[in-house]
A and B are shown apart, each in its own frame.
Chain A
């Protein structure tokens, strides 16, 4: 009997709350219009890339052929190793190369120049330097190869000791 009183209180308060907020919940289902999807008219367009390769795609543009002057085939971001697209410095007298040989660092010395292909007797010492550099790079490669080939060997060695 002691707890019946608070219960009744709560019931009364709940009823009051319900009466104060008139929440109308009648089901309301209108018909929804099924709209036909609108699709813009598309044409088939032939895209010609700068190196002459072509492909077709569907587009809203009515032009039948699109010729691009700048695309993935001739932009440096997509062809980072292409020497054609990099701005190669013109170094006729070899002065820039000489400066670089004297003061340049590793990353700077690797800058390709136009005169690398042409052979002159003056640049024999530079050639020798380049050869030495190439040898150093090869050594690095060898080190990397060693690193790869030695992968997983360390696990075998202790097992050999056990045997």
Chain B
């Protein structure tokens, strides 16, 4: 009875929202310690809600975070612990391991992408579906493809020495070509990377300034840092010795950089080349990578080089080879992709 009395007081002192109205009071037979609070304690509770804003007006007026931060001489310390990647990779057995390059705290982390390139939008909206349609092969229901022979032939056991030998290579050459699977919605060919490579023979014959200029030019047109390479072969007429002379510059583009480069190459640079027929139809390494070359005067047509053409010594602007690596397995598919993206081909098309 005492419990029910106190709960009645509780109901009166609390706001209506807190009162449990679902359960009738008389039927409650359970007794809780929390229910036995003296009503005198409840009177000490504040009547006003704490959720209402209570800030005084002068405090509001003096609050000026921009002025405070500009007055500050030093930067504030970091509020939290920040992981710093080790500067050196000390091997897989070292206890202090650097994080993977995809981790933003890694020293090798490259942020991005920051934009959705036009080439990517075109590819997603039109090119991919077009290729999928063009490469569609209809098989009626119940169709079974004829069984193909194994790519690696087995030895006929005409000789006892054939036992435990590895399988023979394909007929007519030792090269095992890539296997072309039928093109589906999930393996539509796309651009994977673009390699821009330029071989500068004068870097070995004269001085390294040729290499520096070529590196700067390639970096300007690609938005990527270039790598330099030493020659592997000796060219006697150019007095190039393998392993001694640094003669080549290469930039490898992936992702956003690649798409921006491809877009500007196709839309701006290639149409301005004088008497350009297109990419030769026989180019390609028969596994879906197409290469074509640009002369030095064509490289000078890039808007980045044109905008400060005076920076480069005009003789030293390099020509370059551009290799477009696609995920297509054959040159035919790669050529289909590239011609859909705007690169014209001429001459005999070799697949």
Residues on A lying within 8 angstroms of B by beta carbon are 29, 31-40, 42, 44-45, 47, 49, 55-63, 66, 68, 70-72, 74-75, 77-78
| Stretch of B84-92, B183-191, B314-322 at the chain-chain interface | B84-92
Report how far A124 CA is from B13 CA in the complex, Å.
108
User: Is the C-beta of B272 less than 8 angstroms from some C-beta in chain A?
Assistant: yes
Q: What 1/0 mask marks residues of chain B from 297 to 321 whose CB sits below 8 Å from any chain A CB?
A: 0000001100100000000000000
Please give me the residue from chain B that is nearest to A29 by CB atom.
B91
- Bound Cα distance A37, B304 (Å): 22
Whether a CB of chain A sits under 8 angstroms from the CB of B108 is yes
Residue of A nearest to B94 (CB): A31
Contact (A71, B268) CB under 8 Å given A31-B89, A58-B223, A59-B223 = yes
Judge if B39 is at the interface, Cβ distance under 8 Å. Answer: no
Number of interface residues of B (CB under 8 A): 40
- CB-defined contacts of A68 to chain B, threshold 8 Å: 267-268, 272, 303
Cβ contacts A to B, 20 pairs, < 8 Å: A29-B90, A31-B90, A32-B88, A33-B87, A34-B87, A34-B98, A34-B107, A35-B107, A40-B219, A47-B264, A47-B303, A55-B263, A57-B260, A57-B263, A58-B115, A61-B304, A63-B303, A63-B307, A71-B268, A71-B271
- Contacts of A63 on B, CB cut-off 8 Å? 303, 307
Give B259-312 interface residues, CB cut-off 8 Å to A.
Answer: 260, 263-264, 266-268, 271-272, 276-278, 303-304, 307
| Docked CA distance A55–B268 (Å) | 12
Q: Which A residues are CB-close (under 8 A) to B86?
A: 34
> Which B residues from 193 to 226 make CB contacts under 8 A with A?
219-221, 223-225
Task: Contacts A33-B87, A77-B277 known; list 15 others, CB within 8 Å.
Answer: A29-B90, A29-B91, A34-B89, A38-B225, A39-B225, A55-B263, A57-B263, A57-B264, A59-B223, A59-B303, A71-B267, A71-B268, A71-B272, A72-B342, A78-B271
